[in-house]
Chains A and B, each alone.
Chain A
Amino acid sequence: DIVMTQSPESLAVSQGERATFNCKSSQTVLNSANNKNYLAWYQQKPGQPPKLLIYWASTRESGVPDRFSGSGSGTDFTLTISSLQAEDVAVYYCHQHYITPHTFGQGTKLEIK
């Protein structure tokens, strides 16, 4: 199984500042046949289901604010919030859907400092 490891476990950032989330996979999730990284990021607010933010590692889902961006390839990935807003408080999960079983990172909890 591909193990997804997120860091840090929790993050406290001041409003307006940058927040950076890291995700490392135990094997590559880059499909060389189509040059796509099978890596997505989700945001989960308390009491709500996860919401897709980023897919193919760096493509922002429609309607997601442009302060959210994703980067990385192969085994190392980053989600960045460029200027933290209060409504961004949530848990953020990375997810590999390249190989079954699909696996998620353990999540990073984001709080306002």
Chain B
Amino acid sequence: EVQLLESGGGLVQPGGSLRLSCAASGFTFSTYAMFWVRQAPEKGLEWVATIDNGSGAKTLYADSVKGRFTISRDNSRNTLYLQMSSLRAEDTAIYYCAKSIGGISSYYEYWGQGTLVPVSS
């Protein structure tokens, strides 16, 4: 059974940093591209970042987070990360990790339960 479990969320001040983790199980993690998607309170879904399969050499970012967020993966730990810095109030959201069906041009087959990141002083 595929499972994705996000962690690392919590209250952070504007300008602060946070690292989110997504522990994956039930599939061969290294062979799948992975995604981060966020959802601001009472709002819709926003793609945040993509990392390709294998070594994760290819990464893509939404303009709204480019230069501030970094997606990475540790295939030995079956874990996806999102390093977030210079956080702003508008980054407040539930952050979901999602699994592809293989490559980066994929629909999002499975989603984690999400982790909440409130950015506030």
Contact = CB atoms under 8 A, between A and B. Distances in A.
B109 A49 contact: no
A72 interface: no
> Interface size class for chain B?
20 to 34
Contacts, number: 54
B108 A95 contact: yes
Contact of A49 (B60, B107, B111): B111
Interface string B42-65: 001111001000000000101100
A100 B106 CA distance: 11
Given A49-B113, A93-B45, A107-B44, A100 B107 contact: no
Interface of B: 35, 44-47, 50, 60, 62-63, 96, 104-114
Interface stretch (A16-24, A50-58, A74-82): A50-58
A67 interface: no
Contacts of A103: 47
> Interface size class for chain A?
20 to 34
A103 to B, nearest CB: 7
B98 to A, nearest CB: 8
A50 B50 contact: no
A100 B108 contact: no
B37 to A, nearest CB: 8
A22 B69 CA distance: 33
A102 B112 contact: no
Nearest to B63: A101
Given A55-B107, A106-B44, A100 B112 contact: no
